[in-house]
Structure 1
Amino acid sequence: MTALPASASSSRSSEAAHAHEAVLVCGVNWVGDSIMTMPALQAFRRAHPNAYITLLIKPPLTQLWKLHPVPNEILPLHSGFWGTLKTARLIRQRRYPRAFVLPHSFRSALVPFLSGVRERWGMPGHWRGAMMTRVVNPRPPQPGREHQAWEYMDLLLPGHKEQELERPQLNLPDEAVAAAKARLAALPKPCVGILPGAARGPSKRWPADHFINLGRSLVKEKHCSVVALGISREAALCRKVVEGIGEGALNLAGQTTLAEWIALLKVCDLVIANDSGGMHLAAAVGTPVVAIFGVTDPLRTGPLGRDCRIVQNSSVRNRDVERDSPEAIKSLASITPEQVFEQARELLDRATPS
């Protein structure tokens, strides 16, 4: 992928955008959702190997998408009303013939509409149908096709014949992986990454005390080291968990770049995570994952990996959950450390048979 700063590449980008197969993709806004769009983008690239694909995203996601092989260019979506107009003016100069709008929001459809993109494809929602030239209704979920990732496939490749979702591709630099291995080299093996945080708040966070009891069991019974990982605003939570676990635990939350965080997830022997962006990242780089779900539906938004286990006690399956949903918080609290430990033990034993 060639990631080009808009200010430094306007001539080259404009020429590329005039090409017959130039495509603008308006990306989604969260790490986990971004990962779920990747199988469809990879399938689109296979179907259109010569397309020049520009991905329009919010700036915090730039580092993630630099690791993905599909986009030829990453374009930042400027924030606010004036930022929307500025972005639209830039896109108008490039005269893209087609745009795919992956989010369901009104604003995501507004930018290509104001830009005069000739064909604007998107899914229904938020009173934006008039801004689309084609509204694509995803196929009804069927067994094996329940995951949200299929909606993006139906949008990008209507009438496709894809039978399964390819795992999201993240190409980490070799030096990032080597640095992650060196960072954990002194720790006992196996090394288990834990992700106590979740951007959605308490409705997706397993209680910290449960993570503490789980970590103690992993250290005592499986002789593991436990590494807490997360973003800066999760550092205090991770510190509390690591201090509660005691010897054998290390807190690295807030101490890594995104690429370093993903590399650490990759070199862990197992990751235990809430339903979060970190869960999706760990699965994407091929690490076995135990994912803890409250009332969100793992069939719809579960990790896209080869070796993932779901722990969930609720029979409720909601797509959208409030940040402080009492039902979700209660459901998560009902999941015992013993339940999660059993799934972790099975995955660790499979990786290191006696």
Structure 2
Amino acid sequence: MIAHRCRHIVPRRVLIIKPSALGDVVTAMPVLRGLKRTFPKVRTAWLLSDACAPLVAHDSQLDEVVPFRRRKLGRAWRSATAAAALWRLLRDLRRSDYDWVIDLQGLLRSGLLTLATRAPIRAGFSDAREAAWLFYDRLVEPTAPHTVDRNIALAQQLGLDARPEDMTLEVAPAAKDFATDLLKRQANLADGDFLVCVPPTRWQSKEYPVRHWRAVIGELSVDRPVVVLGTAADKDTCGRIVEGLGDRVVNLAGATSVSQMVAVIAASAGVVCCDSAAKFIAPAVGVPAVTLIGPTQTERTGPYRIGRAIVANVPCQGCLRRRCRPAVCMELIDPADVVSLAREMLASGSR
């Protein structure tokens, strides 16, 4: 029914609202792909945080990035500069004359931004939090638990031809060149020669102990070189993980931007990671991944398509607590099991 009504307004301009986080942006890619497949001439825009914009700014199917500087705009109530920036954003959203706005964030803030566009079609989930659904005129009932399938279902209910295989990322050419040169200089590595390990994660409760990471990486580096990725903020932790593990382990924490990190992952044979954006980035560039799952719920945010998971076997698994000391669920994931599953993944050769 919703799809039928939306078809009567063939969009010229569509805005996707999903400003963060990195993994969430990847899970929203089927909506962008479905838009362009259904309406090849539509002009697409995406409201994105500064941190997430490099993930998709170069994408051939995205025409415009609308910058969303969350930290600055969050000070609008006490800073004249921030208030002026918020006013300019709202003005620009209104002037952009969007035909459709699709709010995949589903929070009060994103709902208000959706309303500010005054678009003829403003779509979002009927179970959006913080009463964001009040600002939509097309309420879509969620039909699947997993976040990727939810986004696909929303797109399909709007009449878009979105598909599970649409969760893809394009690797920026400049980032690919940088990654190729970096890997060559650091360890004489070529595409497919190495395994990537990504220890960092946003929640303390999802962290795998340093001693476990050392055991996993030390064992896997016997088979092939291991590249460790992380941000500049993760350099100390990653440094402790790789210390003394030998020259077949390369620590690139802090050495890459977001787009360059994607390029390194795309060049790898596989990924082992905590529950982070890497579990979605890897399959989005055609690389298999093993994800270590503790406090989160696999049916909602677990690995998708070619991903594998080791899920902690504890009664409290899936509690969604961001902080937990000790994080028993992660402590009890046996490094030997991680190594075994990673080797199985690499032996399967599924890329």
Structure 2 CA distance for partners of 1:337 and 1:46, relative to 1, 3 Å: same
1:20 shift after superposition:
4.6
| AA partner of residue 44 (structure 2) | I
Structure 2 CA distance for partners of 1:334 and 1:162, relative to 1, 3 Å: farther
Kept in 2: contact 1:77–1:84 (CA 8 A): no
* 1:133 maps onto 2:137 in alignment: yes
Q: Deviations over 1:196-252 (max 9, x none)?
A: 1012x22111111101011111123x2x21211011111111111111534421111
Structure 2 CA distance for partners of 1:310 and 1:160, relative to 1, 3 Å: farther
Alignment of 1:93-242 (within 5 A): 93-123=95-125, 124-139=128-143, 141=144, 146-158=145-157, 165-185=164-184, 186-187=187-188, 190-199=193-202, 201-220=203-222, 222=223, 224-242=224-242
Q: Which residue of 2 aligns with 1:92?
A: 94
| AA partner of residue 256 (structure 1) | T
| TM score, norm. by length of structure 1 | 0.83
Q: Which residue of 1 aligns with 2:312?
A: 313
1:322 shift after superposition:
2.7
1:320 shift after superposition:
7.2
Structure 1 Cα separation of the partners of residues 55 and 183 of structure 2? 22
1:277 shift after superposition:
1.1
Kept in 2: contact 1:296–1:317 (CA 8 A): no
Q: Deviations over 1:149-188 (max 9, x none)?
A: 1211232331769795014222224453344234334457
Structure 2 CA distance for partners of 1:316 and 1:65, relative to 1, 3 Å: farther
Q: Deviations over 1:22-78 (max 9, x none)?
A: 112112410000001112321222112221111111122111112433321111124
Q: Deviations over 1:70-96 (max 9, x none)?
A: 321111124223243321111111222
1:119 shift after superposition:
2.5
Structure 2 Cα separation of the partners of residues 89 and 182 of structure 1? 43
Alignment of 1:35-46 (within 5 A): 35-46=26-37
1:315 shift after superposition:
6.1
* 1:71 maps onto 2:62 in alignment: yes
Structure 1 Cα separation of the partners of residues 244 and 232 of structure 2? 19
Kept in 1: contact 2:294–2:317 (CA 8 A): no
| AA partner of residue 259 (structure 2) | A
Structure 1 Cα separation of the partners of residues 216 and 347 of structure 2? 17
Unaligned runs of 5+ in 1: 1-18
Unaligned runs of 5+ in 2: 1-9, 77-82
Between 1:202-211 and 1:311-320, the stretch displaced more is 311-320
| AA partner of residue 196 (structure 2) | G
| AA partner of residue 170 (structure 1) | L
Kept in 1: contact 2:294–2:318 (CA 8 A): no
* 1:333 maps onto 2:331 in alignment: yes
How many correspondences in the alignment? 325
| CA RMSD in angstroms, aligned pairs only | 2.7
| AA partner of residue 135 (structure 1) | L
| AA partner of residue 344 (structure 2) | E
